[in-house]
Structure 1
Amino acid sequence: MNNITDNPKKLLAMQKYISLFVILLFSCTGLFAQNIYDIRNAIDFFESNRMQKGEYRHILTESDIEGSPYFNDEFIKGTIFTYQKIQYNDIPLRYNIYNDEMEFQTPNNQVLAIAAPEIVDKAVLGENTFSNIPYALGNKVKRAYFILLTEGKLSLYARPEVLYKKPKKAAAYSEPEPAKFEKRPDTYYLRLNQQAAVRIESKKDLQNFFTDHQNKMESFIKKNKIKPGKADKMMELVEYYNSL
């Protein structure tokens, strides 16, 4: 049996195959690396991110204020994912609805807010994913945290809201009222691909939102009695659109 080194043509062909395999291997490795996160722990997060105290704490945390500005009053160990593909695990987090801030607690129990929220892609707290995405506000585009309800080509988000009511002094026919935070119903936003999310408050908003599959979407909305204020109905609508 001839050794492959005795046949230059076979050797050259083998070298080409090996070279091609190596190129493909490194290419695939590069693609894979782009889709994974550099996983770090909470200490790295505390040390590597710019942090600041939440300014609202000097104004709106008096003991006589009723209600709460938080989505969850207690800190929950969660995970931060950044746009730089860094994942920080086991960080005590809570979401301040009123300030639209993601707060975290340091090992010495100091409460801070992420000073550069634009670096945050999402924060996962228990069963809830808070996505930091752009949204349309009039003719402007801003960025805020939204709770992800369902994701796809078309995604559905909920925006929790809290209203701060100033204290009222006693009047002739009314008792004084303390300052308070009042939870409001969630509002819902649709986001197509990577565009700015759009607030949906009425059936007219739905009709104006869908520029493709209009007839099918209008028929589905009417047949299934889709209401913008109902999360389950909105999820049905999104799932149907993503199936088209």
Structure 2
Amino acid sequence: MKSFLSYFLFLLPYFIFSQNFQSDQRVWNENTQRAFRDLGRLKLAKPIDNQVEGSIYFESKFKEGNIVHLDKEIDIKTKLRYNAFNDEIELIDNSNGSESIKVAIKDFDIISYFDDKEFIFMSYIDSNKENTEGYLNPIYKGPRVNIYKKERKKFLKGKESVNSLDIAHPPKYTDEIEYYISLNESKPSFVKLSKKSILNTFNKSNLIKSFSSKNRLKFSEISSLIEIARFYELNN
């Protein structure tokens, strides 16, 4: 894996509009200048298709946030938003004097914080039981159980009417929310908010069956999964 420094240098051009970078001349060193020269290698965000109903964002406004390395040695403040269709973190770039939108480099050692969420790029097992990589939002962090949320946008093709009785449907983006769970530091895997899926995740534990029944938990609610996770940690 490339060193974090190389990725960090690629990211630097995104942030020159930051007051810290504009006012502190110490950051204008040779490495920073090289990063600006390498701006052309950065990936531009894809244009938005206005012919499609809906949005590729759950929140289209850029929010103040920061990007940090896992060892906390580097912390950069900037404006970010999450492209839920392309699974990308987008940033505002003013490096050439005009505003443009760029895509942050995906790296397992970089975490983004904005919109009251934590975005971690990681490997996980999806609903098709396939290994994949993408951004997950931690919503519960325990000593033995971690639960993640995945917000995504799906594209649905449109349908043209073939006669006066047929109804046309424009292409659109629809919302989809998934949850992933990690037990004992295992790779996060998809869990459906259903009784069968949740009990299977915890190996059909009779103790959890009794707990969920006694407390009348609704398996269709994420709050119930979090309660079960806490109970599991206290009793295992």
The match for 1:134 is: 123
CA distance in 1, matches of 2:151, 2:178: 7
What is the DSSP-based 3-state SS (H/G/I as helix, E as strand, rest coil) of the residue aligned with 1:52?
coil
Q: In structure 2, which of residues 47, 53, 57 is the aligned counterpart of residue 66 of structure 1?
A: 53
The number of residue pairs the alignment matches comes to: 197
Among all aligned residue pairs of Structure 1 and Structure 2, give the percentage whose two residues are the same amino acid: 23
**Residues in 2 aligned to 1:87 and 1:189: alpha-carbon distance in whole angstroms:** 28
- The answer for unaligned runs of 5 or more in structure 1 is 1-39
Contact 1:154 1:190 in 2 (8 A): yes
Q: Which of 112, 115, 123 does residue 102 from structure 2 map onto?
A: 112
What CA deviation, in whole Å up to 9, does each residue of 1:194-233 have, x standing for no partner? 3211211132222222249x33222222323444431221
Which residue of the other structure, out of 139, 164, 169, is the alignment partner of 2:160?
Answer: 169
Higher helix proportion: 1
Find out whether 1:122 has 2:111 as its counterpart.
yes
Structure 2's unaligned 5+ residue stretches are: 1-11, 22-31
Cα deviations by residue, 1:50-106 (Å, 9 ceiling, x for unpaired): 73113x42xxx2222221111210111111223464543321111111111111111
The alignment's TM-score, normalised by the length of structure 2, stands at 0.71
What's the Cα RMSD here?
Answer: 2.8
SS at match of 2:223: helix
Rg: which structure is higher?
Answer: 1
Answer with 151-160 or 193-202: which moved more.
Answer: 193-202
Mapped partners of 2:219, 2:233: distance in 1: 18
* 1:150 aligns with one of 127, 130, 140: 140
**Which residue number in structure 2 is paired with residue 179 of structure 1?**
171
Distance 1:139 1:243 in 2: 29
Write the letter of the residue equivalent to 1:203: K
The CA deviation at 1:139 is 5.0
Question: Whole-Å Cα distance in 2 between the matches of residues 147 and 156 of structure 1?
Answer: 8
Matched, 1:231 2:222: yes
